[in-house]
Amino acid sequence: MHILILGPFPPPEGGVARNIAAIRRYLIRENHQCTVICTTRNTSGHQTGGVFTPANAIEFLQHMLKTTADIIHLHIGGRINWRVYTLLGICILFGRRRSVLTIHSGEFGISKKHNVFFLRYLLKQFCLIIAVNKQISSVLERLGVKPDKIRVISPFVLPFIERVEVPHDLMEFVDARSPLIVSVGLLEPEYDLEIQIAAIQSLIKIYPKIGLMIIGSGSLEAHLLSLIKQKNLESYVKITGDLPHVITLQMISLANVLLRTTRFDGDAISVREALFLGTPVIATDNGMRPEGVITITTPADTVNLTSAIEKLFQQDSSTVPVKNDTDIDNIEIVLSLYKEIYQKIANFARRAPVK
């Protein structure tokens, strides 16, 4: 079986990209072929080994024309804009009865900006749609997608942590800061990172050695660095940029808490990873956080976030709710769905009249 996956691929280490990488590893381990065509910017510029990063739309279409895949699986997340509509259309054009869609976006479940009629038409063309949570599933049903074409499957979480050498500057920060707070995500407005920085400034009075490590990159990097300098917090807040996933996991495992203050969100993989590693999580309430997450109101504000962190640090660590769950079965469910679709395609081909 040959699966073509369209979506982001590491690096950088985003949640959707890690999920796709995990699916690809699993398929190859099970002796299936898996090709990935990146639909977002990829810093490695993959062009071999079954992972390709087109430089432009023409190269993307050239790769699509060459594909011999049995199933095409498109992953989307973020805002549903004209670019996403185009990807949906291309996937349907080349996939026909063999196209699968996974919707990771938290905004998809709350946005009112969709072109309803056009989106409804596109979604109905997919043979199967995977929603990462029930909220997205409900929106799909309201858009007219039949329930039997929808599956709710949470993202796959890596069930182990590989120990590697951590850069000296990161370990120096970790060793100097206690308690240590880690935040993983994009440096974009919807992550409300300024509120995290403001909370650290308030907590310094109680925890003079506290530290916040922000892992990720984005358009607000220069602004956030300037803000940190302006508030004289260079010793307390460190922006690392994108890190290899194994190092990100080690930072999460060393943290006293992981923060996720998004204004909208899907089923964030970093949250599930933190819970698996035994690290408490404080996150804005999006109505779909996994069991064990300490939630605060959305959008986050400095007072509520500071209060939640302070309350957590005052608790006995043995009473902090953390749920360990590998979710290994989730990726096996995806493989079983591929096999189900593959079998349907084979049955259809056998029934087709010979010309």
Model confidence over 87-141: pLDDT tens digits? 999 999 998 778 999 998 656 655 555 567 888 889 999 999 998 878 788 888 9
Q: Using one digit for the tens of pLDDT, what is the confidence trace for 61-77?
A: 999 999 889 999 999 87
3-state secondary structure of 239: strand
Residues 236 and 334 both lie in one domain:
no
Name the one residue in this structure whose structure tokens are 């690809």.
24
Q: Using one digit for the tens of pLDDT, what is the confidence trace for 161-195?
A: 667 788 999 999 999 999 999 999 989 999 999 99
Name the one residue in this structure whose structure tokens are 């009865």.
97
- Rounded to whole angstroms, the Cα distance separating 210 from 200 reads 7
- Rounded to whole angstroms, the Cα distance separating 154 from 132 reads 5
CA 56-57-58 angle, to 5 degrees, is 95
- Rounded to whole angstroms, the Cα distance separating 57 from 43 reads 17
Q: Could you give the C-alpha distances from 324 to 157, 272, 329, 342, in angstroms and in order? A: 11, 8, 14, 33
Burial of residue 317 (number of CB atoms within 10 Å: 0-12, 13-18, 19+): exposed
- Rounded to whole angstroms, the Cα distance separating 101 from 136 reads 12
Residues 6 and 150 both lie in one domain:
yes
Give the CATH number, domain containing residue 80: 3.40.50.2000
- Rounded to whole angstroms, the Cα distance separating 46 from 37 reads 9
3-state secondary structure of 76: strand
Binning pLDDT at 50, 70 and 90, where does residue 316 land?
A: low
More confident residue, 120 or 202: 202
In a domain, 14, yes or no: yes
Give yes or no for residue 22 having a pLDDT over 90. no
Residues 6 and 147 both lie in one domain:
yes
In a domain, 53, yes or no: yes
Q: What share of the chain is helix, strand, coil (3-state, %, to 5)?
A: 45, 15, 40
Residues 97 and 16 both lie in one domain:
yes
The amino acid that residue 256 corresponds to is N
Binning pLDDT at 50, 70 and 90, where does residue 237 land?
A: very high
Phi-psi region of 36 (alpha: psi -120 to 50; beta: other; left: phi over 0): beta
Residues 127 and 270 both lie in one domain:
no
The tokens describing 268, both together, are 């964030």
In a domain, 72, yes or no: yes
Residues 151 and 6 both lie in one domain:
yes
Least confident span in 41-45, 79-83, 227-231: 41-45
Residues 301 and 334 both lie in one domain:
no
Residues 147 and 14 both lie in one domain:
yes
- Rounded to whole angstroms, the Cα distance separating 122 from 143 reads 11
The tokens describing 76, both together, are 């989307």
Three-class SS string for 140-155?
A: HHHCCCCHHHEEECCC
**242: domain range?**
168-319
| H-assigned helices in the chain | 15-29, 57-66, 82-95, 116-124, 134-142, 168-176, 193-203, 221-230, 245-254, 269-277, 302-314, 328-351
Give yes or no for residue 351 having a pLDDT over 60. no
Binning pLDDT at 50, 70 and 90, where does residue 355 land?
A: very low
3-state secondary structure of 247: helix
Residues 193 and 152 both lie in one domain:
no
Number of domains the chain is built from = 2
More confident residue, 22 or 219: 219
In a domain, 59, yes or no: yes
75 beta partners: 102
The sign of the torsion formed by the CA atoms of 192, 195, 199, 200 equals positive
In a domain, 28, yes or no: yes
Average pLDDT of the residues in 217-245: 95
Least confident span in 32-46, 92-106, 319-333: 319-333
In a domain, 162, yes or no: no
The pTM of the whole model exceeds 0.75: no
Residues 99 and 143 both lie in one domain:
yes
Q: Using one digit for the tens of pLDDT, what is the confidence trace for 130-144?
A: 988 787 888 889 888
Residues 229 and 95 both lie in one domain:
no
Three-class SS string for 2-33?
A: EEEEEECCCCCCCHHHHHHHHHHHHHHHCCCE
In a domain, 147, yes or no: yes
Residues 13 and 144 both lie in one domain:
yes
Average pLDDT of the residues in 234-255: 93
Binning pLDDT at 50, 70 and 90, where does residue 354 land?
A: very low
In a domain, 163, yes or no: no
The tokens describing 111, both together, are 């946005």
